[in-house]
Amino acid sequence: MPWWRRSPHNDTGGDLLKVSVIGAGTMGSGIAQVFAMAGDETTLIDIYKEALQKGKANIERSLQKLGEKSALSTEPDKILSSITFSSSLDSCKDSSLIVEAVFERLDIKKDIFSKIAEIISPGTIIASNTSSISINLLSSYVKEPENFIGMHFFNPPPIMKLVEIVKGRRTSESVTKKIGDISRSLGKDPVFVNDYPGFISNRVLMPMLRESIISLEQGIASVEDIDKTVKLGLNHPMGPLTLCDFIGNDVVYDIMTVLFNEFGDPHYKPPVLLRNMVFSGKLGRKTGEGFYKY
């Protein structure tokens, strides 16, 4: 019998998975929701109380949508109340799995890993939801690199099926397999990739977003027509500029910066238009304005 409790959706039984998600932003709150929907004992941690409140509201909205479609096996309220919201890192003490989903800033991640190292028990798996920072580098900040792995979810986590599981050179085979099994128990369909800049998803996505922004910068077409081209001509669910606003232009800028620095390839160089938008607070949906107004 596996050591974590399987999702009630595939009632195979098993032990309880106690999971803490650190960072209550869009991704962290969505990831916590995914674990809670699978019946796992979930704690969402953020040192900023305001972020926790926003995260809770995100989860509430999303559960309501899913509830209206009868896509949940449990009442939305019950799922929401099963999540512990905490502003103290100490709350991850007894977790068997910790998912880090804080800002894409190395110093912040490093600080979190050094703090939780003093709290957690040996054998705890730490998974990072980083979208571009090296898993091998991050694993050098933890005590047990064999128990460290990338678990890259996609926005919105409750809807998107993929988890990109990123193996560091020191990640053990057994941890890789466990995270694959856990991802499936969450109703996700994982892929396994080795640590390389941008993994697969962002290595492929970022040049497309960049070319779309540069097409706008060069006056080739309007925001709407660039999006329409990709939506209707290439059959993507969202146009690339809508997607930038959806991901967050600051996040897109940070990922492109990491990839440009790592590969040295101009195909990843953040466009000046994107830089200027980020510096002027046009981050997309979350600030009410990006390529579009919300």
Beta bridge pairs of residue 192: 165
Interacting span for ligand 3HC (CB under 6 A) from 87-95, 151-159, 221-229, 263-271: 151-159
Q: Is 158 in the site for ligand 3HC (CB under 6 A)?
A: yes
Among 49, 65, 78, 115, binds ligand 3HC (CB under 6 A): 65
List 185, 202, 212, 215, catalytic entry: 202
- Beta strands 41-45 and 125-128 are unpaired
- Residue whose pair of structure tokens reads 């003093």 in the numeric block: 118
Q: How far apart, in whole angstroms, are the C-alpha atoms of residue 102 and residue 258? A: 16
How near is the Cβ of 89 to ligand 3HC at its closest, in Å? Answer: 24
DSSP conformation class of 196: -
Cα torsion through 180, 122, 27, 231, rounded to 10: -30
Q: Is 202 in the site for ligand 3HC (CB under 6 A)?
A: yes
Q: Is 80 in the site for ligand 3HC (CB under 6 A)?
A: no
Contacts of 274 (CB under 8 A, 6+ apart): 213, 244, 249, 252, 253, 256
Catalytic residue status for 152: yes
* Token output for 6: 């399987």
Q: How far apart, in whole angstroms, are the C-alpha atoms of residue 99 and residue 32? A: 9
User: Three-state SS for 197?
Assistant: coil
- What is the x/- site pattern for ligand 3HC, positions 84-123, by CB under 6 A? ----------------------------------------
Among 122, 237, 264, 266, binds ligand 3HC (CB under 6 A): 237
Any idea which residues carry the catalytic annotation?
Answer: 131, 152, 164, 202
Q: Contact positions toward ligand 3HC, by CB under 6 A?
A: 62, 65-66, 69, 131, 154-156, 158-160, 201-202, 237-238, 243, 247, 251
